[in-house]
Amino acid sequence: MIEYNFTKDITVVIPLFNEDESLPELHAWIVRVMKENNFTYEIIFMNDGSTDNSWQVIQDLAGKNPNVRGIRFRKNQGKSAALNVGFKKAKGEVLITMDADLQDSPDEIPELYRLIKEEGWDLVSGWKKKRYDPISKTIPTKLFNWATRKMSKIKLHDFNCGLKAYNTQVCYNVEVTGEMHRYIPILAKNAGFPKITEKVVEHRARKYGTTKFGLDRFINGFLDLVTLYVVSRFGKRPMHFFGMLGTLMFVVGFLSMIVLVIWKFWTLREGGTPGLIADNPLFYLLLVTMILGTQLFTTGFLAELMSRNSAKKPNYTIDETVGE
């Protein structure tokens, strides 16, 4: 059983890669919002292997503000890794995630906090209804969100919005790996936290730097969505997927083979010359179907054994930390 020891109202987790210009302004903005609302808080900057001066900026901010913590990865390991580590370090009852590029507004924090604490939501996802991104990003994003809604049955408009609020218990109970940060609402639902909603939030134009979005991230996102769908349905019981498919293929191949043999004997009875069964291309097709069915069944059996005995957690290489 997970023990929760929350000592603050809010934890803000900010994953970043090469955002040194925006960090001082973002920090000052968050601090102002926290003071105006009398929140106890901490800010965790997750430096994902930045090659600019981001870590030096974080160290300077931590030296001036005891509520600032920094974690630096030895190399770039992705947004999911940064969020996963930040989640497990949180001390706040409510956890807010936001991007470091100033496109998310910290002024949204009080209302997000209220939705979690007073209305009892497990997760509140931001919805950037009006966006300032180039069309090369908005069209793939709309397609991605449509596919995710259909597959997950979770009615959100903007799954990939970086601005989200969580009951921190959610964050302690999910593992965010690969590129799965896009699908945290689905991970939360699968972990037993179904109370998920959204809030329209302000989307600001990027002030510094350039976007990290690329076609490869879009393609990887859809591949991860398919993976998550299969894992969420059959991850605990892979035999139900591979075993069922393998058995179906073997049975179809085997029964069709019997039909092929019966056809040969019927042709002989009628005085025909059917030739060797092995000369029929259909024989090899059915044989391959039976072999593949056997392999899929075996795969399901082995996957079932692995899922029951594997408890390994992802291990990310942290180079340095600063703050509490």
Per-position pLDDT tens, the chain of length 324: 566 788 999 999 999 999 999 999 999 999 999 999 999 999 999 999 999 999 999 999 999 999 999 999 999 999 999 999 999 999 999 999 999 999 999 999 999 999 999 999 999 999 988 776 666 666 777 787 888 888 888 999 988 899 999 999 999 999 998 778 888 999 999 889 999 999 999 887 777 766 655 556 666 666 666 666 666 666 567 777 788 888 999 999 999 999 988 888 888 887 777 778 778 888 889 999 999 999 988 887 787 677 656 555 566 667 778 876
Beta strands in the chain (DSSP E): 8-16, 41-47, 68-73, 92-97, 123-127, 164-167, 196-200, 318-322
Q: What is the pTM of this model?
A: 0.73
- Rounded CA-CA distance 149/266 in Å is 54
Q: Which helix (H) or strand (E) holds 257?
A: helix 244-269
> Long-range contacts of range 253-261, CB-CB < 8 Å, 24 or more positions apart?
253/286, 253/287, 253/288, 253/289, 253/290, 253/293, 254/290, 256/282, 256/286, 256/289, 257/283, 257/286, 257/287, 257/290, 260/286
Res 216: pLDDT:
63
Residue 289: which residues within 8 A CB-CB, separation 6 or more? 249, 250, 252, 253, 256
Q: With contact defined as beta carbons under 8 Å apart, do 10 and 34 qualify?
A: yes
Res 72: pLDDT:
96
For 144, the token pair is 């991605």
Q: With contact defined as beta carbons under 8 Å apart, do 15 and 86 qualify?
A: yes
CA 178 to chain centre: 7
Q: Starting at the edge strand that comes first in sequence, how are the strands of the sheet with 8-16 ordered?
A: 196-200, 123-127, 164-167, 92-97, 8-16, 41-47, 68-73, 318-322
* Cα pseudo-dihedral 294, 295, 297, 302, rounded to 10: 140
* Cα pseudo-dihedral 66, 69, 72, 77, rounded to 10: -160
Res 113: pLDDT:
97
- Rounded CA-CA distance 142/221 in Å is 13
Give backbone dihedrals phi and psi of 12, rounded to 5 degrees, phi first.
Answer: -110, 120
Instruction: Check residue 37 and report its DSSP letter.
Output: T
